[in-house]
Chains A and B, each alone.
Chain A
């Protein structure tokens, strides 16, 4: 390395030093400690005691753990595809030549700005079985709405609905991608006599596929970690009727900060990490052939 190269490197490192400090202190150290704790019995008050893979073994027979995991999967299996489809649907509509486009965009986007705690409060009230807006609207079309948050069958659909209210972010991302698709492509499809479905399937989808993939990955990471809404709407970590809305992160939080089982919580966190990595890898594998870069 020449003197100039060394000097450049030192300057570069000096500039990124805030990141280095954060990486070492607030990411690398915690990640190593987390892995260490996951093999320990640790209640914060006394020193961690190494217990091997006992935490991981306990998980296998912890019914609440499995419940929270399956709750989270069921939620994600509905919230993620529905959210992606709905946001793409509205983004495509917003991309048409229409009047008042920016007003519509704002109306769809605003709910995603609402702080999570406030979102939880609003939907707590919306889902009120008797006086809530939702059931009264349903009654107008002759449907007798369930008592959402108090009915084991309906707690997860309620959480999915709440998450769908916040897709404005994703709509804006899709819309930006759609606006980048060259108009000529659609015009040539018109000449070839393609209908709207052909255009959507063979032009829109491939052209915005990197963004679909991006939203898919972000969605997997986000939906598996859902916390604030269920925590608030079901009054802490009770998880609603029959623990039907006890989500993974809520249970993890409870394990760590109510029961002080830091070792077990760390092991749970690693399992979540591995699940997320696995699903992201699978999503990447499954979509790789269909993603079209270069648009």
Chain B
């Protein structure tokens, strides 16, 4: 019994760790690509870590890009009047004479053939700062782990309107969160804390609207907003949030029902108006539930792709989600490091928000399933 328990524990951990690795790998891979120089995104086999190559030369460290390896034999050449030697590929030297690219020839002071081997490898490197190229022994180049944070600013710049995208997204998030929380709280109150004839039938109708797929509403809504002259503005993206979506009403109603009716009754006897009870008694104790609704709405607006795709026409009105897709369709998937850097910038606010509100999040999602 003891032994089988131990084995099952090992199997469980093995599966969980394996699963967790598979689930996190794409995120780590995104970050790792985001901080690499472009040529390292296309190195094979791919590396998880971003590197920088530093060439030691004359007591200086020059950041270089590795352009290739010299696999054929090479000549180590001393030129007259120069202290250090240079490495010249073997095919550039004929009978002790170096042929330059421009056709001229140079006769070196000293020349030595070095056969190519594993220990004696030469690297062709290009300086990152200027056009200079070097052929140097492999041991002259140091590899260090280096995060290219400047990729993020470069990605932001190549997205051109990134600050506008961010502003539009934050503005929409703010308005829709305010709209959803206030309207859903009002409606949920009306569906739970006040008894009126036919209330539960109307609520059932509200729940039924959740079944309607968005594509059914998509075309007429577009036509409606077009008739109202709202296409190409942010308005169609937030107006709906002030109309108490059924899902949020459902979540809040669930919470409101749990609040003892005696609280309301006592306030009613004291002559409080229904709105005052709602605002001064029910809302303050419902903060956790309101927060869940607000969080879900924030995420929904931040993530929304189809809405902005349909309603926005001017690039300057785009949200981050749409802007990111636009950037990808423009750059055509070549600059993977910038694309991943831009994606990372879209993901990270959501992850940070999650870490600060983890409990509400998990509870909110659990409620939808268990009480649904």
Select which of B223, B243, B343, B368 is within 8 A of A44 by beta carbon.
B223
State the Cβ distance, B53 to closest chain A Cβ, in Å: 19
Is B240's beta carbon under 8 Å from chain A? Answer: yes
Give Cα A93–Cα B11 distance, bound, in whole angstroms: 10
Contact call A117/B372, Cβ cutoff below 8 A: no
B14-39 contact mask (Cβ, 8 Å, vs A): 1 or 0: 01100110011111011001000000
CB <8 Å contact, A27 and B23: no
In the complex, A114→B44 CA distance in Å? 27
- CB pair B351 A113 closer than 8 Å: yes
User: Nearest chain-B residue to A255 (Cβ)?
Assistant: B219
Inter-subunit contact B46/A114 (CB<8 Å): no
Q: Which residues of A in the span 210-229 have a Cβ within 8 Å of any Cβ on B?
A: 211, 214-215, 221, 224-225, 227-228
Q: Are B20 and A117 in touch, CB under 8 angstroms?
A: no
Checking A5, A169, A228 against B306 with a beta-carbon cut-off of 8 angstroms, the contacting residue is A228
Pairwise interchain contact A93-B202, C-beta atoms closer than 8 A: no
Decide: A256 near B219, CB < 8 A? Known: A165-B23, A172-B365, A272-B213.
Answer: yes
A54 at the interface (CB under 8 A from B): no
Q: Is the CB of B191 within 8 A of A16?
A: yes
- A142 at interface, CB cutoff 8 A: no
Residues of A within 8 A of B16 (CB): 90, 93-94, 98, 104
Contact between chains at A276 and B211 (CB < 8 Å): yes
Please state if B215 and A272 are interface contacts (CB–CB under 8 Å). Answer: yes
A52 located at the interface, meaning its Cβ lies under 8 Å from any Cβ of chain B in the complex: no
Tell me if B216 counts as interface (CB < 8 A to partner A): yes
A113 to B353, CA, bound (A): 10
- Cβ of A169 and Cβ of B365 under 8 Å apart? yes
Residues of B within 8 A of A8 (CB): 194-196
Q: CA A211 – CA B369 in complex, angstroms?
A: 6
Q: B60-68, B93-101, B102-110, B323-331: which lies at the A interface? A: B323-331
CB distance from A145 to the nearest CB of B (A): 13
CA distance A196 to B366 in the complex (A): 25
Interface membership of B242, Cβ < 8 A: yes
Among A5, A12, A111, A172, which residue has its beta carbon within 8 angstroms of that of B27? A111
Interface residue B212 (Cβ < 8 Å from any Cβ of A): yes
Partner of A106 from B187, B218, B222, B358 at Cβ < 8 Å: B358
Q: Let me know if B224 and A118 touch, CB within 8 A.
A: no
Given contacts A122-B27, A131-B41, A257-B310, contact A18 B187 (CB under 8 A): yes
B217, CB-defined interface residue at 8 Å: yes
B269 to chain A, nearest CB (A): 15
Residue B370 is within 8 A (CB to CB) of chain A in the complex = yes
Contacts of A26 in B (CB 8 A): 217, 221, 239-240, 243
Q: Which residues on the B side are within 8 Å of A169 (C-beta)?
A: 365
Determine whether B120 belongs to the interface, using a CB cutoff of 8 Å to chain A.
no
Known: A93-B12, A98-B16, A272-B215. A113 touches B339 (CB 8 A): no
A168 to B369, alpha carbons, bound, how many Å?
13
Q: Quick check: is B333 within 8 A (CB to CB) of the other chain?
A: yes
Q: Does A177 make an interface contact (CB < 8 A)? A: yes
Given known A133-B25, A180-B370, A221-B213, contact A13–B190 (CB-CB < 8 A): yes
Say yes or no for A163: interface residue by CB 8 A criterion.
Answer: no
Chain A: interface size category: 35 or more
Residue A1 interfacial (CB < 8 Å): yes
Whether the Cβ atoms of B220 and A30 lie closer than 8 Å is: yes
Given known pairs A29-B224, A131-B42, A228-B305, the reply for A19 and B20 (CB within 8 Å) is: no
CB of A262 within 8 A of CB of B321, answer no
Chain A residue contacts of B306, Cβ below 8 A: 227-228, 253
A137 to chain B, nearest CB (A): 8
Which of B184, B309, B321, B339 is within 8 Å of A125, CB to CB?
B339
Give CA–CA (A253, B12) in the complex, Å: 44
A252 within 8 A of B: yes
Picked from A44, A133, A262, A272, the residue with its CB within 8 Å of the CB of B216 is A272
Q: Is the CB of B324 within 8 A of A121?
A: yes
CB-based contact A131/B46 at 8 Å: yes
Give complex CA distance A9, B199 in Å: 9
In the bound complex, CA of A168 to CA of B44 (Å): 31
**Interface presence of A245 (CB below 8 A):** no
Which stretch (A76-84, A197-205, A263-271, A286-294) binds chain B? Answer: A263-271
- B residues within 8 A CB of A172? 362, 365-366, 369
Contact across chains for B216 and A131 when beta carbons are under 8 A apart: no
How distant is the Cα of A120 from the Cα of B346 in the complex, in angstroms? 12
Q: List 25 A-B contacts (CB under 8 A).
A: A11-B196, A12-B194, A16-B244, A18-B184, A18-B186, A22-B183, A23-B209, A31-B212, A33-B224, A34-B219, A44-B223, A93-B19, A98-B16, A106-B358, A108-B23, A109-B362, A111-B24, A121-B339, A121-B342, A122-B343, A131-B42, A196-B8, A257-B310, A262-B223, A272-B213
The residues of B with any CB-CB pair to A shorter than 8 Å are 8-9, 12-13, 15-16, 19-20, 23-27, 29-30, 33, 41-42, 44-46, 183-184, 186-187, 189-191, 194-197, 199, 202, 205-206, 209, 211-224, 226, 239-240, 242-246, 249, 274, 278, 299, 302-303, 305-306, 309-310, 321-322, 324-325, 328-329, 333, 336, 339-340, 342-344, 346-347, 350-351, 354, 358, 362, 365-370, 372
What are the nearest 6 A-B pairs in CB distance?
A22-B243, A15-B190, A173-B369, A176-B366, A30-B220, A12-B196
